[in-house]
Structure 1
Amino acid sequence: MINVREITILTHCHATEDCEKVLHAVKNILPANIRNNIVFNKQVLHGHYGNPITIIKTTITSNAEQVLKHIANLMDDTEKTILSVSFDLRYDRRENKLYLRISKQKAYGGKIVIHDSDDVIKLIIRLKGSRRPEKIKEFLREMGLIK
């Protein structure tokens, strides 16, 4: 049996961004009934030119499957197909983790769009159970995350 052990959510807020809006984008990908109960850790670092960069991070364990289903509900069929086709690039069999990068801007509007760049919300989905890619894909189909 496969289940979701935890989901880590990580993003950066650059000096040119409003960190409250970035946090709002992150909260938008969470189910409404838990989004205000999640504790976010913030760490301020400094970039190459001394500009502040705030790292926003949380790890969800107790509601991880609920969060994954909610994320799947926010994705349209095109995104699910993209995820299905690119699964081998996103799944680490050794670690049993699925890595997703989604658009911050689209998340602010409540949509999940796969976006492979640096300025994204990163999701690390740690699974428990089988590590066989075909079994993981079957589980993700059942969760509604891939086609």
Structure 2
Amino acid sequence: MSRVVSVEASVFSYATEDEKKVERALFNLIPEEVIKPSLRVERLSGHYRDPLLMIRGRVTDRGLAGEILRRLVEALPPIDRERLIQEIGDRVDEANNLYLRFDKQKAYHGRVLLSEADPIRLKFKFSSCKDHVSAIKSHIASIIEDLKD
């Protein structure tokens, strides 16, 4: 069985956004006390030279990383849980990473929804195993199954 080893988070804060609100959206997905010590802010320029911030953080405690994944999957609406299971092959790479993107605006308001547009990106690193896609799918499915009990 594959286990979560770490989670990396990244999110853009655009010139029209309040950096603190973007951080709050991230903290609503990963508790502030867990991710804040590792947060780094990189100042970038957008396509039209507009100011842009990249906010990144990482959790390397296996127990915490696994609990973050569990909590997020549990918070997803049923339709997004089903979508996650269906798309697992597209969300896992050869290096045992699971990529999830969450709606930044909804996260700010405390809701957890998958989204591809202007997301908070989370990369969950899993321990190595032979059939990593199936193992990660089984891990996610077991979290969902536990919700039914």
Structures share a fold, TM > 0.5? yes
How many percent of aligned residue pairs carry the same amino acid?
27
| C-alpha separation in 1, matches of 2:139 and 2:37 | 25
2:85–2:141 Cα contact (<8 Å) kept: no
Aligned twin of 2:122? 123
Distance change >3 Å, CA 128–CA 114, structure 1 → 2: same
1:8–1:125 Cα contact (<8 Å) kept: yes
Aligned twin of 2:2? 2
| C-alpha separation in 1, matches of 2:46 and 2:134 | 41
Count of aligned positions: 143
Normalised to the residue count of structure 2, the TM-score between the two structures is 0.87
3-state SS in 2 of match to 1:116: coil
Distance change >3 Å, CA 110–CA 50, structure 1 → 2: same
Aligned twin of 1:29? 29
1:44 aligns with 2:43: yes
1:91 aligns with 2:92: yes
| C-alpha separation in 1, matches of 2:23 and 2:127 | 28
| C-alpha separation in 2, matches of 1:115 and 1:131 | 29
1:25-77 deviations in Å (ceiling 9; x for gaps): 00001247x44754311011112322110000001111211111121222111
Distance change >3 Å, CA 55–CA 36, structure 1 → 2: closer
The structure in which a higher percent of residues are helix is 2
Normalised to the residue count of structure 1, the TM-score between the two structures is 0.88
| C-alpha separation in 2, matches of 1:120 and 1:86 | 17
- Amino acid corresponding to residue 73 of structure 1 in structure 2: E
Which consecutive residues of structure 1, in runs of 5 or more, have no partner in the other structure? none
- Amino acid corresponding to residue 3 of structure 1 in structure 2: R
1:9–1:121 Cα contact (<8 Å) kept: yes
C-alpha RMSD of the superposition? 2.0
